[in-house]
Structure 1
């Protein structure tokens, strides 16, 4: 994937649930990788990175590999999964801070454009509530969030 990426897409795992310890978060990463590879038939976990409630960032496909997290954006975005179900609750502050730090590291290292656009998964994929209502409301307040997105579904352009 060419870097720097112009987009960052935020996800939640929904399942597995939130993890709070490093061992729980490693298990969550292994669960997602197994699901993506064995059920979905992908060659690896779909996300570029995931962030756990232990405050650690976990590498999925990394900075420069095309992801499998947001069709039509996979080859031009960094996909970050916030491990847990964030429909009703907000992730812990340390988890959110790690997401911010990870994005800044990507910018500082030249993997993410300094003028990147931030979206929630639901903005670029039909029929998903990802990254959860509560987390989506939170990321709307973050720098670089844009509600203006062109989405293409089944060859039909939709402005959302």
Structure 2
């Protein structure tokens, strides 16, 4: 598993202290909700810029203390530490954040809409990490399962409904 710490990806410090979270029912999966440049799948440096832009939007646009996601997964099976394990996310919706961690897959409504196998593997890695280090329970749901939204998009949601199977290209298992 490849995880970039907040320092590694150049995260801004949070504006305030996080609320502690010791256990959850599980994890909710998200997508960006807008266009994701397909070049992201070829150029990993774009992933870093995209995660920074999301953090900026959440902090400066939404007024949140930090990026709203616990972890972010790019097409290269890299996990970016957002708020991390043990901290309340902000992305699941008011009143819903304490029930599930929030993991973002960097796909959107146009451009890059189909999660590559390495992204799916990274999401599975992120779920395992949150179970081991954050007390995440067994539920794995889409954002729309608790909040009125199209998130995490059809491709990720169909994968979740199918039981989030490991892609056939995974040779590690």
Shorter-chain TM-score: what band?
0.7 to 0.9
Query: Quick one: structure 1 residues 17 and 89, their matched pair in 2 at CA, closer, same or farther if it must change by over 3 Å?
Result: closer
Which residue of structure 1 lines up, in the alignment, with residue 80 of structure 2? Answer: 58
Q: How much does 1:76 deviate?
A: 2.6
Q: Which of these residues, 9, 13, 19, is aligned with residue 32 of structure 2?
A: 13
2:84 match: secondary structure: coil
Gaps of 5+ in 2: 1-19, 165-173
The answer on 1:136 being equivalent to 2:128 is no
Gaps of 5+ in 1: 144-160
Q: How much does 1:106 deviate?
A: 2.3
Question: Do 2:85 and 2:134's aligned partners in 1 also have CA atoms closer than 8 Å?
Answer: no
**Aligned equivalents of 1:79, 1:95: Cα separation in 2:** 15
Which residue of structure 1 lines up, in the alignment, with residue 116 of structure 2? Answer: 92
Question: Do 1:86 and 1:135's aligned partners in 2 also have CA atoms closer than 8 Å?
Answer: no
The answer on 1:77 being equivalent to 2:100 is yes
TM-score, normalisation: structure 2? 0.73
1:23 match: secondary structure: helix
1:46 match: secondary structure: coil
Q: How much does 1:86 deviate?
A: 5.5
Query: Quick one: structure 1 residues 34 and 107, their matched pair in 2 at CA, closer, same or farther if it must change by over 3 Å?
Result: same
**Aligned equivalents of 1:39, 1:25: Cα separation in 2:** 20
Q: How much does 1:7 deviate?
A: 2.2
- What is the number of equivalent residue pairs in this alignment? 140
TM-score, normalisation: structure 1? 0.79
